[in-house]
Amino acid sequence: MVDKCPKCGEALITRTIQKKMGTGSIDYPVAQICQKCNWSKDLTGAGDIVAKSPATEEAGGKSEKRPEVVRQAPEKPKQAPEKPRQVIEKTSLRPSASKQRVPDMNKIITIALAFLVIVVIVWAFMPKGNEPTGDIQPTSTPEVTASATVTPTPDVTPTGNKIKVKINRDRGYVLKEQANLKIKPGDEVIWLNEGSYPLTLISNDGLFEDKLLDYDKLTTHIFTKPGTYSFDIKVMGVKKFNGTVTVEP
């Protein structure tokens, strides 16, 4: 176990000297030093010898010299010299190259996974060539209108008979039986818009141009030739109702 400094607690460094013994040599510790606070400890025992002051030496010279008795200290049993303790210096550990590579590999894997997810999303939303598109355009079917069957007959003079047909944009023909009206040659049909909103009356046989009828407006036509004639009521540009006028011979 490494000795620690009594002041700062830092690990002590042991200094040694090499002494020859017989055919070999040993390292003998002489001091312990703290590199942090410069605390030191003498392991040789020389620090315990106190030097005499000059005043003490003069007083000793005047006094009677007493024979000095030299006492030999008992020999201590020889002990094997302590091995110098190794001082482990703290060194900053640098991460190995393999540990440094781990974050780089994680970044590469993350980028690769993100790229793969983007590719899958793009592929999922790409239109497939063999699959039909989701929006199916409805095919327009030609409207079949009843063509008027006209039988060539001599011109007919007006009979003076007037039939009023009431129409509006909500119900078409107010009287349902007038949706398929039957008249005689020379009769006059009057179409009256009794609704509050405008509408357009269209002759599919070209008897007259499209008639825009506002509220309480009317239009008339005298039928002189037998046959069946078709009419449409258009509201805001859309054909909503259909009716016929049959002129019996």
pLDDT digits (tens, 9 = 90+) for 43-56: 777 655 444 454 44
Q: Using alpha carbons, select from 166, 178, 186 the residue that is nearest to residue 249.
A: 186
Amino acid identity, residue 244?
T
Q: Are 228 and 243 in contact (CB under 8 A)?
A: no
Query: Residue 61: pLDDT above 50?
Result: no
Task: End-to-end CA distance of the chain: give it in Å, rounded.
Answer: 135
Q: Are 194 and 221 in contact (CB under 8 A)?
A: no
Q: Are 30 and 16 in contact (CB under 8 A)?
A: yes
> pLDDT band at residue 142, thresholds of 50, 70 and 90?
low
Distance between CA 202 and CA 207 in Å, rounded? 9
Query: Residue 182: pLDDT above 90?
Result: yes
The pLDDT of residue 191 is: 95
The pLDDT of residue 56 is: 47
Half-sphere exposure of 20 (CA within 13 A, CB side): 2
The pLDDT of residue 59 is: 47
Q: Give the pairing of strands 188-193 and 238-247.
A: unpaired
Give the mean model confidence (pLDDT) for residues 89-94. 53
Is 162-247 assigned to CATH 1.20.1260.10? no
> pLDDT band at residue 87, thresholds of 50, 70 and 90?
low
Q: Exposed, middle or buried, 94 (CB in 10 Å: 0-12/13-18/19+)? A: exposed
Query: Residue 71: pLDDT above 80?
Result: no
Query: Residue 134: pLDDT above 60?
Result: no
Which residue bears the tokens 């013994």? 21
Q: How confident is the prediction for the chain on average, in pLDDT?
A: 76
Between 23 and 137, residue with greater pLDDT:
23
pLDDT digits 0-9 by tens, 216-242: 899 999 999 999 999 999 999 898 899
Would you kindly state where each structural domain of the chain is located, as residue ranges? 13-58, 162-247
Give the mean model confidence (pLDDT) for residues 128-155. 54
The pLDDT of residue 67 is: 46
Q: What is the 3-state secondary structure (H, E, C) of the chain?
A: CCCECCCCCCECEEEEEEEEECCEEEEEEEEEECCCCCCEEECCCHHHCCCCCHHHHHHHHHCCCCCCCCCCCCCCCCCCCCCCCCCCCCCCCCCCHHHHHHHHHHHHHHHHHHHHHHHHHHHHHCCCCCCCCCCCCCCCCCCCCCCCCCCCCCCCCCCCCEEEEEEECCCEECCHHHHEEEECCCCEEEEEECCCCCEEEEECCCCCCCEEECCCCEEEEECCCCEEEEEEEEECCEEEEEEEEEECC
The pLDDT of residue 6 is: 85
